[in-house]
Amino acid sequence: MRGNVLLRTGLLLLILLPIGFLLLTPPLVRCLWISRSASYRPLAGTQDVYIHQAATTRQENQLRQHVVTARNRIAWFWGSRHGQATLIYCPNQTDYEQYCDGGEGAGCSLGLPWGDSYLILGPDGNNADVIAHELCHDELFARLGWWRVKRQIPQWFNEGLALMVDYRFSKPALWNTPRRAGKHTPAESHPPPSPTHQMMRLTDLETTRDFFGGDYMHTMLAYQAAASEVAHWLSVVGKAGVPVLTDAVAKGADFSDAYRQLERRRTGK
């Protein structure tokens, strides 16, 4: 009898927890229903891309081109593309805030524990760099899963990796040519910290709150530290090291151990 009660309680929790989760995050509910929204339509010639009805023909053509460029960039960087996120373009800030809580930045990513993910593009997000940046986050989720990324991958690596395909911040020429072993050169596309601001430590940028929890200068320095570290790592292991690393973590390896081991193999240390 008690076993039946526990079973019913467990099943009830399995039903109520996802519902409660969605009720607490209206943007996710809107994303899940995007295909039924009267305000959005699929972008012709693409897959899993929705555009607001208010978008102009010029914006539509630009988005189509930028999505192709960004997806190709992800396939080149990772070796293949596993992510299947749904993209939603909001050309107006008011609409963007309905799908991206707070409406900050040019784009944001929303993911669900069971695998669905959505990339929201704001008025400034119709850009190949912004789209590639968000797609890189999605690629990491697709290869490792929501839970493993949240629990095992430090935020500095997640953001630093995305900056490598975001050419507003980093060009492949800065890290795609192997450097001499042991030589750590920060990404030249990032200016050095001002005299009043020291480079942030990676150990202080492990979680999302660590990374984004401060003011604007804090976040910019966090991006700088993340980009510098990942650019250096890539200059040693090469971009082929990225899927090797994620495969190792997916099989149970500790991220830090696998990350440093790949670097030591190339440097001989």
* Span 11-41, pLDDT tens digits: 544 554 555 454 457 878 888 889 999 999 9
Q: How confident is the model at residue 48 (pLDDT cuts 50, 70, 90)?
A: very high
Q: Using alpha carbons, list the distances in angstroms from residue 140 to 45, 64, 109, 162.
A: 26, 23, 12, 9
Domains in the chain, start-ordered, CATH in brackets?
A: 23-144 (3.30.2010), 153-269 (no CATH)
Q: Answer yes or no: is pLDDT of 82 > 50.
A: yes
Report the relative pairing of strands 86-89 and 107-111 from DSSP bridges. Answer: unpaired
Q: How many CA atoms lie within 13 A of 29 on its CB side?
A: 10
Average pLDDT over residues 149-167: 94
Report the relative pairing of strands 49-52 and 40-42 from DSSP bridges. Answer: antiparallel
- The token duo for 237 is 């292991």
Strand ranges across the sheet with 49-52: 40-42, 49-52, 86-89, 117-121, 107-111
Q: Which residue has the higher pLDDT, 108 or 3?
A: 108
Q: Answer yes or no: is pLDDT of 91 > 80.
A: yes
Cβ neighbors of 11 (< 8 A, separation 6 or more) are none
Q: How confident is the model at residue 8 (pLDDT cuts 50, 70, 90)?
A: low
* Span 212-265, pLDDT tens digits: 888 889 999 999 999 999 999 999 999 999 999 999 999 999 999 999 999 888
Mean pLDDT of the chain: 83
Q: Which residue has the higher pLDDT, 201 or 196?
A: 201
Residues of the chain with pLDDT > 70: what percent? Answer: 81
Among candidate residues 251, 145, 248, the one with its CA nearest the CA of residue 262: 248
Q: pTM for the complete prediction?
A: 0.81
